Amino acid sequence: MRRLTGLTLALLLLTLSACALFPNRDPVNINVVGIEPLQSQDLEVRFAVKLRVQNPNETAIDYNGVALDLEVNGRPLASGVSDQQGSIPRFSETVLMIPVSVSAFSVLRQTLGLSQTQSLDNLPYVLRGKLAGGLFGTMRFVDRGTLDLPNAAATW
């Protein structure tokens, strides 16, 4: 029993010291800077979401994939993935384009969720995603804001 306690304590100390080896990183700043239409299929609409990713750290951020989920007005609307890979140098920024798909059912769900008096101006959105970076390098992010879609009904 005493040996087990000593082994557990040693493993705990080893784990804590291993965490100290990983550099402290400030969170990346990610903002939606644009949405462009892409060629769509039968019952879906596709867009390219442009994200500005800013690295406020002293070391580069390497990534090898991006995933996004977009909620509008509290309901899921679009999702997308990309196998892009690259590096964002220290104290630098880049713009990533991620294709996302919006199914006709998501559009219908959004339309039914809007009250008859609610316009398409200033709809709240939440964008959740991750920059994949291996076992300890994956960075999750959230961006919140409002969308102004005055002509969206004509598009769908």
pLDDT in tens, 79-118: 999 999 999 999 999 999 999 998 876 776 666 666 544 5
**Cα–Cα distance for residue pair 138/23, rounded to 1 Å:** 14
Q: Within 13 A of 131's CA, how many CA atoms are on the CB side? A: 24
> Token pair for residue 24?
């402290």
| Residue 54 binned pLDDT confidence (cut-offs 50, 70, 90) | very high
State yes or no: pLDDT of 66 exceeds 90.
yes
**What average pLDDT does range 6-21 have in this prediction?**
60
More confident residue, 71 or 10: 71
Residue-wise over 48-84: b if at least 16 C-beta within 10 A, else e? bbebebebebeeebebeebbbbbbbbeeebbbbbbee
**What average pLDDT does range 11-17 have in this prediction?**
61
State yes or no: pLDDT of 14 exceeds 80.
no
| Residue 52 binned pLDDT confidence (cut-offs 50, 70, 90) | very high
pTM: 0.69
pLDDT at 81: 96
Mean pLDDT taken over the chain: 79
Looking at CATH, the fold of the domain delimited by 24-155 is given as Immunoglobulin-like (2.60.40)
